[in-house]
Chains A and B, each alone.
Chain A
Amino acid sequence: MSKRQARIRKYSWGNFFIALFTGLFALMCLLPMVLTVMVSITDETAIMRYGYSFFPKKFSLYAYELMFQGGSSVIRGYLISIFVTVVGTLGALVITGLAAYTLANKNVKYRGALGMFFFIPMVFSAGIVPWYLICTTLGLRDNIWALLIPNLLFNTFNLFLVRNYMSGLPDALRESATIDGANDAVIALRIYFPLSMPVLATVGLFYALGYWNDWWNAIMLVDSKNLYPV
Protein backbone atom coordinates (compact mmCIF):
# COMPACT_ATOMS: atom_id res chain seq x y z
CA MET A 1 0.00 0.00 0.00
CA SER A 2 2.83 2.39 0.78
CA LYS A 3 4.01 2.28 -2.81
CA ARG A 4 0.55 3.22 -4.00
CA GLN A 5 0.54 6.04 -1.53
CA ALA A 6 3.82 7.30 -2.87
CA ARG A 7 2.61 6.97 -6.44
CA ILE A 8 -0.40 9.16 -5.93
CA ARG A 9 0.85 12.54 -4.92
CA LYS A 10 -1.15 13.93 -2.08
CA TYR A 11 -1.84 17.18 -3.88
CA SER A 12 -2.91 16.96 -7.49
CA TRP A 13 -5.72 18.35 -9.60
CA GLY A 14 -7.47 14.99 -9.66
CA ASN A 15 -7.45 14.77 -5.92
CA PHE A 16 -8.62 18.33 -5.66
CA PHE A 17 -11.73 17.66 -7.74
CA ILE A 18 -12.49 14.44 -5.93
CA ALA A 19 -12.18 16.19 -2.61
CA LEU A 20 -14.35 19.01 -3.92
CA PHE A 21 -17.07 16.63 -5.04
CA THR A 22 -17.20 14.55 -1.86
CA GLY A 23 -16.91 17.72 0.18
CA LEU A 24 -19.86 19.26 -1.63
CA PHE A 25 -21.96 16.18 -1.01
CA ALA A 26 -21.02 16.24 2.67
CA LEU A 27 -21.91 19.92 2.79
CA MET A 28 -25.26 19.09 1.20
CA CYS A 29 -25.84 16.62 4.02
CA LEU A 30 -24.89 19.14 6.66
CA LEU A 31 -26.56 22.33 5.46
CA PRO A 32 -30.21 21.34 6.04
CA MET A 33 -29.37 20.57 9.66
CA VAL A 34 -27.76 23.97 10.07
CA LEU A 35 -30.82 25.52 8.48
CA THR A 36 -33.10 23.78 10.97
CA VAL A 37 -31.07 25.06 13.90
CA MET A 38 -31.00 28.55 12.44
CA VAL A 39 -34.72 28.61 11.81
CA SER A 40 -35.36 27.36 15.32
CA ILE A 41 -33.63 30.43 16.77
CA THR A 42 -35.15 32.93 14.37
CA ASP A 43 -37.98 35.17 15.40
CA GLU A 44 -41.29 34.01 13.97
CA THR A 45 -42.26 37.36 12.52
CA ALA A 46 -38.90 37.57 10.80
CA ILE A 47 -39.65 34.29 9.04
CA MET A 48 -43.00 35.65 7.99
CA ARG A 49 -41.40 38.76 6.56
CA TYR A 50 -38.16 37.52 5.02
CA GLY A 51 -38.72 33.78 4.62
CA TYR A 52 -36.47 31.01 5.89
CA SER A 53 -32.85 31.98 5.98
CA PHE A 54 -29.47 30.71 7.09
CA PHE A 55 -28.72 33.95 8.86
CA PRO A 56 -31.30 34.83 11.47
CA LYS A 57 -32.35 38.42 10.94
CA LYS A 58 -33.86 38.61 14.35
CA PHE A 59 -32.64 36.35 17.09
CA SER A 60 -35.21 34.72 19.34
CA LEU A 61 -35.39 31.72 21.62
CA TYR A 62 -39.15 31.84 21.75
CA ALA A 63 -39.51 28.40 20.15
CA TYR A 64 -37.41 26.87 22.90
CA GLU A 65 -39.28 28.77 25.61
CA LEU A 66 -42.51 27.39 24.22
CA MET A 67 -41.03 23.92 24.24
CA PHE A 68 -39.93 23.94 27.85
CA GLN A 69 -43.07 25.47 29.27
CA GLY A 70 -44.87 23.23 31.70
CA GLY A 71 -47.29 20.71 30.23
CA SER A 72 -46.02 21.30 26.73
CA SER A 73 -46.70 18.52 24.28
CA VAL A 74 -43.10 18.51 23.07
CA ILE A 75 -41.69 17.52 26.46
CA ARG A 76 -44.38 14.91 26.75
CA GLY A 77 -43.50 13.58 23.31
CA TYR A 78 -39.84 13.32 24.27
CA LEU A 79 -40.66 11.47 27.49
CA ILE A 80 -42.80 8.99 25.60
CA SER A 81 -40.17 8.52 22.92
CA ILE A 82 -37.43 7.96 25.48
CA PHE A 83 -39.50 5.51 27.48
CA VAL A 84 -40.55 3.55 24.40
CA THR A 85 -37.00 3.50 23.02
CA VAL A 86 -35.37 2.28 26.24
CA VAL A 87 -37.96 -0.32 27.20
CA GLY A 88 -38.52 -1.46 23.63
CA THR A 89 -34.85 -1.85 22.80
CA LEU A 90 -34.14 -3.85 25.95
CA GLY A 91 -37.13 -6.10 25.37
CA ALA A 92 -36.31 -6.59 21.71
CA LEU A 93 -32.70 -7.43 22.51
CA VAL A 94 -33.68 -10.04 25.09
CA ILE A 95 -36.22 -11.71 22.81
CA THR A 96 -33.89 -11.69 19.80
CA GLY A 97 -30.83 -12.83 21.71
CA LEU A 98 -32.58 -15.72 23.44
CA ALA A 99 -34.17 -17.04 20.26
CA ALA A 100 -30.89 -16.64 18.38
CA TYR A 101 -29.16 -18.78 20.99
CA THR A 102 -31.64 -21.60 20.42
CA LEU A 103 -31.20 -21.35 16.66
CA ALA A 104 -27.43 -21.49 17.03
CA ASN A 105 -27.50 -24.34 19.56
CA LYS A 106 -26.35 -27.44 17.70
CA ASN A 107 -27.91 -29.75 20.29
CA VAL A 108 -31.36 -28.60 19.31
CA LYS A 109 -32.43 -31.01 16.65
CA TYR A 110 -35.28 -29.02 15.14
CA ARG A 111 -33.45 -25.70 14.87
CA GLY A 112 -33.71 -25.86 11.07
CA ALA A 113 -37.47 -26.19 11.25
CA LEU A 114 -37.53 -23.42 13.83
CA GLY A 115 -35.52 -21.21 11.52
CA MET A 116 -38.02 -21.91 8.75
CA PHE A 117 -40.83 -20.96 11.11
CA PHE A 118 -39.22 -17.53 11.52
CA PHE A 119 -38.27 -17.24 7.88
CA ILE A 120 -41.63 -17.78 6.16
CA PRO A 121 -43.26 -14.55 7.40
CA MET A 122 -40.18 -12.68 6.23
CA VAL A 123 -40.84 -13.48 2.57
CA PHE A 124 -44.60 -13.62 2.62
CA SER A 125 -46.47 -11.15 4.74
CA ALA A 126 -50.21 -10.69 4.58
CA GLY A 127 -49.81 -6.92 4.64
CA ILE A 128 -50.92 -4.23 6.98
CA VAL A 129 -54.65 -4.88 7.02
CA PRO A 130 -54.59 -8.12 9.05
CA TRP A 131 -51.84 -6.61 11.13
CA TYR A 132 -54.09 -3.67 11.95
CA LEU A 133 -57.04 -5.93 12.75
CA ILE A 134 -54.92 -8.13 15.01
CA CYS A 135 -53.57 -5.14 16.87
CA THR A 136 -57.04 -3.81 17.50
CA THR A 137 -58.27 -7.24 18.56
CA LEU A 138 -55.44 -7.48 21.08
CA GLY A 139 -56.37 -4.07 22.46
CA LEU A 140 -53.17 -2.47 21.16
CA ARG A 141 -54.90 0.76 20.39
CA ASP A 142 -54.55 4.20 21.80
CA ASN A 143 -52.25 3.14 24.62
CA ILE A 144 -48.53 3.01 25.25
CA TRP A 145 -48.36 -0.67 24.33
CA ALA A 146 -49.46 0.19 20.83
CA LEU A 147 -46.25 2.15 20.45
CA LEU A 148 -44.17 -0.52 22.09
CA ILE A 149 -45.25 -3.91 20.86
CA PRO A 150 -46.33 -4.07 17.20
CA ASN A 151 -43.70 -4.28 14.47
CA LEU A 152 -40.68 -3.23 16.44
CA LEU A 153 -40.27 -5.62 19.33
CA PHE A 154 -38.80 -8.34 17.19
CA ASN A 155 -37.20 -8.37 13.78
CA THR A 156 -36.41 -11.61 11.96
CA PHE A 157 -33.55 -10.06 10.04
CA ASN A 158 -31.84 -9.09 13.30
CA LEU A 159 -32.52 -12.56 14.66
CA PHE A 160 -30.62 -14.16 11.80
CA LEU A 161 -27.83 -11.62 12.21
CA VAL A 162 -27.30 -12.64 15.84
CA ARG A 163 -27.79 -16.33 14.98
CA ASN A 164 -25.05 -16.20 12.36
CA TYR A 165 -22.69 -14.55 14.80
CA MET A 166 -23.39 -17.11 17.51
CA SER A 167 -23.01 -19.99 15.04
CA GLY A 168 -19.57 -18.62 14.29
CA LEU A 169 -18.43 -19.14 17.87
CA PRO A 170 -16.43 -22.37 18.23
CA ASP A 171 -18.33 -25.47 19.30
CA ALA A 172 -15.50 -26.42 21.62
CA LEU A 173 -16.73 -23.72 23.99
CA ARG A 174 -20.03 -25.48 24.49
CA GLU A 175 -18.45 -28.93 24.74
CA SER A 176 -15.87 -27.95 27.33
CA ALA A 177 -18.47 -26.10 29.35
CA THR A 178 -20.73 -29.17 29.28
CA ILE A 179 -17.87 -31.34 30.49
CA ASP A 180 -17.28 -28.87 33.31
CA GLY A 181 -20.89 -29.43 34.30
CA ALA A 182 -22.51 -26.28 33.00
CA ASN A 183 -26.12 -26.55 31.88
CA ASP A 184 -27.73 -24.75 28.96
CA ALA A 185 -28.70 -21.68 30.96
CA VAL A 186 -25.15 -21.15 32.22
CA ILE A 187 -23.71 -21.68 28.76
CA ALA A 188 -26.11 -19.17 27.26
CA LEU A 189 -25.80 -16.48 29.90
CA ARG A 190 -22.16 -16.79 30.92
CA ILE A 191 -20.51 -17.75 27.63
CA TYR A 192 -22.58 -17.00 24.55
CA PHE A 193 -24.09 -13.67 25.50
CA PRO A 194 -20.87 -12.03 26.72
CA LEU A 195 -19.10 -13.25 23.59
CA SER A 196 -21.88 -11.94 21.35
CA MET A 197 -21.70 -8.43 22.78
CA PRO A 198 -20.46 -6.82 19.53
CA VAL A 199 -23.36 -8.08 17.44
CA LEU A 200 -25.87 -7.49 20.23
CA ALA A 201 -24.70 -3.89 20.44
CA THR A 202 -25.16 -3.46 16.69
CA VAL A 203 -28.61 -4.98 16.73
CA GLY A 204 -29.48 -2.92 19.79
CA LEU A 205 -28.56 0.20 17.86
CA PHE A 206 -30.85 -0.90 15.00
CA TYR A 207 -33.72 -1.44 17.41
CA ALA A 208 -33.12 1.84 19.23
CA LEU A 209 -33.04 3.78 15.96
CA GLY A 210 -36.19 2.03 14.86
CA TYR A 211 -38.03 2.97 18.04
CA TRP A 212 -36.74 6.50 18.16
CA ASN A 213 -37.66 7.30 14.56
CA ASP A 214 -40.86 5.29 14.49
CA TRP A 215 -44.11 7.00 13.74
CA TRP A 216 -45.84 4.23 11.84
CA ASN A 217 -47.28 2.72 15.01
CA ALA A 218 -48.34 6.14 16.23
CA ILE A 219 -50.07 7.06 13.01
CA MET A 220 -51.82 3.71 12.65
CA LEU A 221 -52.85 2.86 16.18
CA VAL A 222 -52.91 6.02 18.26
CA ASP A 223 -55.57 8.69 18.03
CA SER A 224 -55.20 10.72 21.21
CA LYS A 225 -52.71 13.53 20.90
CA ASN A 226 -51.20 13.20 24.38
CA LEU A 227 -49.68 9.84 23.50
CA TYR A 228 -47.83 11.06 20.42
CA PRO A 229 -44.08 10.54 20.48
CA VAL A 230 -41.78 13.24 19.15
Chain B
Amino acid sequence: MRKSATQAQNERRKDGILADIAHNKFSYLIALPAMIYVFIFSYCSYPYILIAFQKFNYRNNGFWSILFNGNWVGFDNFKFFFTSQNAFRITYNTLYLNLLFIITGTLMAVLLAILLNELRCRWYVKTTQAVMLLPNYISWVVVSYILMSIFSSQYGILNQVLEAFGQDPVNWYTEADLWPAILVVMRIWKGAGMSAIIFLASITGIDGSLYEAASIDGASRFQQVYKITLPLIMPTIIIMTLLSIGKIMYGDFGMIYALVGDNGVLYKTTDIIDTYIFRALRQVGDPSQAMAIGLFQSVIGFVMVFGSNWLTKKIYPEGALY
Protein backbone atom coordinates (compact mmCIF):
# COMPACT_ATOMS: atom_id res chain seq x y z
CA MET B 1 0.00 0.00 0.00
CA ARG B 2 2.67 2.50 1.06
CA LYS B 3 4.93 1.42 -1.76
CA SER B 4 2.31 1.91 -4.41
CA ALA B 5 1.63 5.37 -3.05
CA THR B 6 5.27 6.37 -3.43
CA GLN B 7 5.36 4.83 -6.85
CA ALA B 8 2.34 6.85 -7.85
CA GLN B 9 4.04 9.92 -6.49
CA ASN B 10 7.18 9.20 -8.51
CA GLU B 11 5.13 8.84 -11.65
CA ARG B 12 3.37 12.06 -10.91
CA ARG B 13 6.64 13.88 -10.53
CA LYS B 14 7.10 13.64 -14.24
CA ASP B 15 3.64 15.01 -15.01
CA GLY B 16 2.81 18.60 -15.74
CA ILE B 17 0.80 21.10 -13.81
CA LEU B 18 -2.55 19.91 -15.15
CA ALA B 19 -2.01 16.37 -13.89
CA ASP B 20 -1.06 17.73 -10.51
CA ILE B 21 -4.22 19.83 -10.41
CA ALA B 22 -6.27 16.78 -11.36
CA HIS B 23 -4.68 14.82 -8.58
CA ASN B 24 -4.97 17.43 -5.87
CA LYS B 25 -8.29 18.92 -6.95
CA PHE B 26 -9.34 19.80 -3.45
CA SER B 27 -6.10 21.54 -2.51
CA TYR B 28 -6.06 23.71 -5.61
CA LEU B 29 -9.76 24.44 -5.22
CA ILE B 30 -9.45 25.80 -1.70
CA ALA B 31 -6.50 27.98 -2.63
CA LEU B 32 -8.60 29.54 -5.39
CA PRO B 33 -10.29 32.34 -3.39
CA ALA B 34 -6.97 33.71 -2.21
CA MET B 35 -5.49 33.35 -5.69
CA ILE B 36 -8.36 35.22 -7.32
CA TYR B 37 -8.15 37.92 -4.69
CA VAL B 38 -4.44 38.43 -5.21
CA PHE B 39 -4.84 38.26 -8.97
CA ILE B 40 -7.49 40.95 -9.08
CA PHE B 41 -6.03 43.33 -6.54
CA SER B 42 -2.34 42.89 -7.32
CA TYR B 43 -1.65 41.44 -10.73
CA CYS B 44 -4.45 43.31 -12.48
CA SER B 45 -2.95 46.50 -11.08
CA TYR B 46 0.34 46.16 -12.94
CA PRO B 47 -0.96 47.23 -16.38
CA TYR B 48 -2.28 50.39 -14.75
CA ILE B 49 1.33 51.44 -14.21
CA LEU B 50 1.23 52.51 -17.85
CA ILE B 51 -1.03 55.45 -17.06
CA ALA B 52 2.00 57.10 -15.50
CA PHE B 53 3.16 57.67 -19.08
CA GLN B 54 -0.23 58.86 -20.31
CA LYS B 55 -2.57 61.74 -19.86
CA PHE B 56 -5.42 60.17 -17.95
CA ASN B 57 -8.85 60.52 -19.47
CA TYR B 58 -11.80 60.08 -17.15
CA ARG B 59 -14.24 59.19 -19.89
CA ASN B 60 -11.96 56.63 -21.39
CA ASN B 61 -10.59 54.70 -18.46
CA GLY B 62 -11.53 51.09 -19.12
CA PHE B 63 -8.91 48.43 -18.68
CA TRP B 64 -8.34 47.89 -22.42
CA SER B 65 -8.55 51.49 -23.49
CA ILE B 66 -5.69 52.26 -21.12
CA LEU B 67 -3.59 49.62 -22.80
CA PHE B 68 -4.42 50.48 -26.41
CA ASN B 69 -5.94 53.96 -26.80
CA GLY B 70 -4.00 55.84 -24.20
CA ASN B 71 -2.92 59.37 -24.76
CA TRP B 72 0.82 58.84 -24.48
CA VAL B 73 2.82 61.71 -23.11
CA GLY B 74 6.11 60.01 -22.33
CA PHE B 75 7.83 61.19 -19.21
CA ASP B 76 5.88 64.44 -18.85
CA ASN B 77 4.23 63.38 -15.60
CA PHE B 78 7.57 62.53 -14.07
CA LYS B 79 9.07 65.75 -15.36
CA PHE B 80 6.25 67.74 -13.83
CA PHE B 81 6.75 66.10 -10.48
CA PHE B 82 10.52 66.21 -10.34
CA THR B 83 10.83 69.81 -11.49
CA SER B 84 8.39 70.96 -8.83
CA GLN B 85 9.85 71.69 -5.42
CA ASN B 86 7.49 69.13 -3.91
CA ALA B 87 9.53 66.17 -5.14
CA PHE B 88 12.48 66.87 -2.90
CA ARG B 89 10.37 67.95 0.03
CA ILE B 90 8.11 64.92 0.26
CA THR B 91 10.88 62.42 -0.42
CA TYR B 92 13.04 64.06 2.21
CA ASN B 93 10.17 64.16 4.71
CA THR B 94 9.34 60.51 4.14
CA LEU B 95 12.90 59.34 4.62
CA TYR B 96 13.62 61.71 7.48
CA LEU B 97 10.49 60.89 9.48
CA ASN B 98 10.84 57.15 8.95
CA LEU B 99 14.50 57.25 9.96
CA LEU B 100 13.57 59.14 13.11
CA PHE B 101 10.83 56.61 13.86
CA ILE B 102 13.16 53.65 13.36
CA ILE B 103 15.97 55.01 15.51
CA THR B 104 13.91 56.36 18.38
CA GLY B 105 11.42 53.50 18.30
CA THR B 106 14.11 50.81 18.45
CA LEU B 107 16.09 52.58 21.16
CA MET B 108 13.03 53.06 23.33
CA ALA B 109 11.76 49.51 22.84
CA VAL B 110 15.16 47.95 23.66
CA LEU B 111 15.52 50.18 26.70
CA LEU B 112 12.08 49.26 27.97
CA ALA B 113 12.65 45.56 27.33
CA ILE B 114 15.97 45.53 29.22
CA LEU B 115 14.57 47.51 32.12
CA LEU B 116 11.48 45.33 32.39
CA ASN B 117 13.72 42.28 32.35
CA GLU B 118 15.75 43.64 35.24
CA LEU B 119 12.71 44.00 37.45
CA ARG B 120 11.85 41.00 39.58
CA CYS B 121 8.46 42.02 40.86
CA ARG B 122 6.14 39.86 38.77
CA TRP B 123 2.85 41.68 39.18
CA TYR B 124 4.44 45.06 38.54
CA VAL B 125 6.04 43.89 35.29
CA LYS B 126 2.79 42.29 34.14
CA THR B 127 0.73 45.40 34.81
CA THR B 128 3.13 47.85 33.19
CA GLN B 129 3.38 45.59 30.15
CA ALA B 130 -0.38 45.38 29.80
CA VAL B 131 -0.76 49.15 30.14
CA MET B 132 1.99 49.79 27.58
CA LEU B 133 0.13 47.66 25.07
CA LEU B 134 -3.06 49.70 25.38
CA PRO B 135 -2.19 52.50 22.91
CA ASN B 136 -1.38 49.91 20.28
CA TYR B 137 -5.02 48.89 20.14
CA ILE B 138 -6.60 52.26 19.47
CA SER B 139 -6.75 53.73 16.02
CA TRP B 140 -4.93 56.86 14.89
CA VAL B 141 -8.24 58.66 14.51
CA VAL B 142 -8.89 58.33 18.23
CA VAL B 143 -5.28 59.33 18.89
CA SER B 144 -5.86 62.48 16.87
CA TYR B 145 -8.67 63.53 19.23
CA ILE B 146 -6.50 62.83 22.24
CA LEU B 147 -3.78 64.89 20.64
CA MET B 148 -6.22 67.71 20.12
CA SER B 149 -7.18 67.79 23.79
CA ILE B 150 -3.49 68.09 24.64
CA PHE B 151 -2.34 70.54 21.97
CA SER B 152 -5.45 72.55 21.21
CA SER B 153 -4.35 76.17 21.28
CA GLN B 154 -7.24 77.47 23.35
CA TYR B 155 -8.35 74.60 25.53
CA GLY B 156 -5.42 72.17 25.43
CA ILE B 157 -3.75 70.78 28.52
CA LEU B 158 -0.27 71.81 27.44
CA ASN B 159 -1.14 75.45 26.99
CA GLN B 160 -2.89 75.46 30.35
CA VAL B 161 0.30 74.16 31.93
CA LEU B 162 2.38 76.77 30.06
CA GLU B 163 0.08 79.52 31.25
CA ALA B 164 0.24 78.26 34.81
CA PHE B 165 4.00 78.74 34.65
CA GLY B 166 3.59 82.22 33.24
CA GLN B 167 4.67 81.34 29.69
CA ASP B 168 2.94 82.43 26.53
CA PRO B 169 0.69 79.78 25.00
CA VAL B 170 1.99 78.22 21.81
CA ASN B 171 -0.17 77.66 18.78
CA TRP B 172 0.89 74.07 18.23
CA TYR B 173 -1.09 73.43 15.09
CA THR B 174 0.77 76.09 13.13
CA GLU B 175 4.33 75.37 14.28
CA ALA B 176 5.59 73.11 11.50
CA ASP B 177 9.07 72.72 12.99
CA LEU B 178 7.75 71.08 16.12
CA TRP B 179 5.74 68.41 14.37
CA PRO B 180 8.45 65.85 13.63
CA ALA B 181 9.09 65.75 17.38
CA ILE B 182 5.39 65.44 18.16
CA LEU B 183 5.00 62.66 15.63
CA VAL B 184 8.01 60.82 17.04
CA VAL B 185 6.62 61.00 20.55
CA MET B 186 3.20 59.79 19.42
CA ARG B 187 4.82 56.98 17.50
CA ILE B 188 6.83 55.83 20.51
CA TRP B 189 3.80 56.19 22.70
CA LYS B 190 1.77 53.95 20.42
CA GLY B 191 4.32 51.39 19.31
CA ALA B 192 7.10 51.06 21.89
CA GLY B 193 5.15 48.77 24.19
CA MET B 194 4.48 46.31 21.42
CA SER B 195 8.06 46.20 20.09
CA ALA B 196 9.40 46.01 23.65
CA ILE B 197 7.54 42.73 23.98
CA ILE B 198 9.26 41.34 20.89
CA PHE B 199 12.66 42.22 22.36
CA LEU B 200 11.63 40.98 25.77
CA ALA B 201 10.79 37.63 24.21
CA SER B 202 14.30 37.33 22.78
CA ILE B 203 15.83 38.40 26.11
CA THR B 204 13.91 35.68 27.94
CA GLY B 205 15.48 33.21 25.54
CA ILE B 206 18.96 34.01 26.86
CA ASP B 207 20.48 31.26 28.99
CA GLY B 208 20.30 32.26 32.65
CA SER B 209 23.57 30.50 33.48
CA LEU B 210 25.44 33.17 31.53
CA TYR B 211 24.36 35.75 34.06
CA GLU B 212 25.23 33.46 36.96
CA ALA B 213 28.73 32.93 35.62
CA ALA B 214 29.13 36.66 35.06
CA SER B 215 27.98 37.58 38.55
CA ILE B 216 30.34 35.01 40.09
CA ASP B 217 33.13 36.68 38.14
CA GLY B 218 32.06 39.93 39.73
CA ALA B 219 30.33 41.65 36.84
CA SER B 220 28.06 44.45 37.87
CA ARG B 221 24.48 44.62 36.74
CA PHE B 222 25.26 47.29 34.21
CA GLN B 223 28.15 45.26 32.82
CA GLN B 224 25.90 42.24 32.50
CA VAL B 225 23.40 44.20 30.44
CA TYR B 226 26.13 45.72 28.34
CA LYS B 227 28.19 42.59 27.77
CA ILE B 228 25.57 39.81 27.72
CA THR B 229 22.04 41.03 27.06
CA LEU B 230 22.83 43.59 24.36
CA PRO B 231 25.11 41.43 22.18
CA LEU B 232 22.73 38.50 22.41
CA ILE B 233 19.65 40.42 21.30
CA MET B 234 21.63 42.25 18.60
CA PRO B 235 20.46 39.86 15.85
CA THR B 236 16.83 40.61 16.70
CA ILE B 237 17.51 44.33 16.77
CA ILE B 238 19.31 44.26 13.42
CA ILE B 239 16.65 42.16 11.74
CA MET B 240 13.85 44.39 13.00
CA THR B 241 15.75 47.48 11.88
CA LEU B 242 16.52 46.11 8.43
CA LEU B 243 12.88 45.11 8.00
CA SER B 244 11.81 48.66 8.71
CA ILE B 245 14.51 50.12 6.46
CA GLY B 246 13.07 48.03 3.65
CA LYS B 247 9.81 49.90 4.12
CA ILE B 248 11.39 53.30 4.52
CA MET B 249 9.88 54.72 1.33
CA TYR B 250 6.39 53.97 2.57
CA GLY B 251 5.25 56.47 5.13
CA ASP B 252 2.58 55.72 7.66
CA PHE B 253 -0.35 57.32 5.87
CA GLY B 254 -2.84 56.35 8.57
CA MET B 255 -0.85 58.16 11.19
CA ILE B 256 0.10 61.29 9.28
CA TYR B 257 -3.30 61.82 7.75
CA ALA B 258 -5.14 61.30 11.02
CA LEU B 259 -2.87 63.53 13.07
CA VAL B 260 -2.10 66.26 10.55
CA GLY B 261 -4.95 65.95 8.08
CA ASP B 262 -5.29 68.69 5.49
CA ASN B 263 -3.53 71.25 7.62
CA GLY B 264 -1.51 73.00 4.92
CA VAL B 265 0.61 74.97 7.34
CA LEU B 266 2.29 71.78 8.47
CA TYR B 267 3.05 70.36 5.02
CA LYS B 268 6.56 71.75 5.16
CA THR B 269 7.71 69.11 7.62
CA THR B 270 5.00 66.46 7.64
CA ASP B 271 3.91 65.97 4.05
CA ILE B 272 5.05 62.52 2.91
CA ILE B 273 4.81 60.68 -0.40
CA ASP B 274 1.72 58.75 0.65
CA THR B 275 -0.27 61.81 1.65
CA TYR B 276 0.88 63.63 -1.47
CA ILE B 277 -0.33 60.82 -3.71
CA PHE B 278 -3.59 60.73 -1.80
CA ARG B 279 -4.18 64.41 -2.44
CA ALA B 280 -3.16 64.14 -6.08
CA LEU B 281 -5.70 61.35 -6.51
CA ARG B 282 -8.66 62.36 -4.40
CA GLN B 283 -8.48 66.14 -4.26
CA VAL B 284 -6.57 67.32 -7.30
CA GLY B 285 -7.94 64.40 -9.27
CA ASP B 286 -5.03 63.56 -11.55
CA PRO B 287 -4.47 59.78 -11.51
CA SER B 288 -1.63 59.96 -14.03
CA GLN B 289 0.42 62.27 -11.85
CA ALA B 290 -0.34 60.27 -8.75
CA MET B 291 0.63 57.09 -10.58
CA ALA B 292 3.95 58.59 -11.66
CA ILE B 293 4.83 59.42 -8.07
CA GLY B 294 3.54 56.06 -6.91
CA LEU B 295 5.74 54.30 -9.44
CA PHE B 296 8.74 56.28 -8.25
CA GLN B 297 7.94 55.21 -4.70
CA SER B 298 7.38 51.56 -5.63
CA VAL B 299 10.63 51.25 -7.55
CA ILE B 300 12.76 52.80 -4.82
CA GLY B 301 10.89 50.79 -2.21
CA PHE B 302 11.52 47.61 -4.18
CA VAL B 303 15.24 48.34 -4.34
CA MET B 304 15.24 49.07 -0.61
CA VAL B 305 13.52 45.78 0.24
CA PHE B 306 16.00 43.77 -1.77
CA GLY B 307 18.95 45.82 -0.56
CA SER B 308 18.08 45.39 3.09
CA ASN B 309 17.39 41.71 2.60
CA TRP B 310 20.73 41.27 0.86
CA LEU B 311 22.39 43.03 3.78
CA THR B 312 20.59 40.83 6.30
CA LYS B 313 21.77 37.78 4.42
CA LYS B 314 25.35 39.02 4.62
CA ILE B 315 25.24 39.77 8.33
CA TYR B 316 22.85 37.17 9.71
CA PRO B 317 21.98 34.56 7.10
CA GLU B 318 19.30 32.98 9.29
CA GLY B 319 17.49 36.28 9.59
CA ALA B 320 16.91 36.90 5.89
CA LEU B 321 13.34 36.84 4.66
CA TYR B 322 13.93 34.92 1.48
A and B bound?
yes
| Chain A interface (Cβ < 8 Å from any Cβ of B) | 1, 3-5, 7-8, 10, 14-15, 18-19, 21-23, 25-30, 32-33, 35-36, 39, 47-48, 50-54, 94-96, 98-99, 101-103, 105, 107-110, 114, 117-121, 123-134, 137-138, 150-151, 153-154, 156, 159, 178-179, 183-185, 188, 209, 212-216, 219-220
B43, A121: Cβ atoms under 8 Å?
A: yes
Residues of B within 8 A of A179 (CB): 1-2
B134, A19: Cβ atoms under 8 Å?
A: no
B115, A22: Cβ atoms under 8 Å?
A: yes
**How far is it, in angstroms, between the C-alpha of A124 and the C-alpha of B139 when the chains are bound?**
27
Task: Identify B157's interface contact among A1, A51, A107, A119, CB under 8 A.
Answer: A51
Residue of A nearest to B274 (CB): A128
Most buried by B among A5, A14, A47, A95: A95
Task: Identify A127's interface contact among B44, B254, B297, CB under 8 A.
Answer: B297
In the complex, whether B61 has a CB less than 8 A from a CB of chain A is yes
**Taking A98-B34, A119-B322, A150-B41 as contacts, is the C-beta distance between A26 and B127 under 8 angstroms?**
yes
Residues of A within 8 A of B132 (CB): 25-26, 29
Residue of A nearest to B2 (CB): A179
Residue of B nearest to A10 (CB): B120
Chain B proximity of A98: nearest CB distance (Å): 4
Chain B proximity of A92: nearest CB distance (Å): 10
Question: Which one of B21-29, B92-100, B232-240 contacts A?
Answer: B21-29
Question: Which one of B207-215, B263-271, B312-320 contacts A?
Answer: B207-215
Residue of B nearest to A94 (CB): B33
Q: Interface readout for B26-70 with A: 1 if CB under 8 Å, 0 if not?
A: 111011011101101111111111010000000001110000000
Counting from the closest, the 9 A-B pairs by CB-CB distance are A127-B294, A130-B48, A121-B42, A99-B34, A130-B45, A213-B139, A51-B155, A98-B30, A102-B31
> What are 30 A-B contacts defined by CB distance under 8 Å?
A14-B221, A19-B121, A23-B128, A26-B131, A26-B132, A27-B131, A28-B189, A35-B146, A36-B142, A52-B156, A95-B34, A98-B30, A101-B27, A108-B28, A109-B24, A125-B298, A126-B45, A126-B46, A126-B48, A127-B294, A129-B287, A130-B44, A178-B5, A184-B25, A185-B26, A188-B26, A209-B137, A213-B138, A215-B258, A216-B253
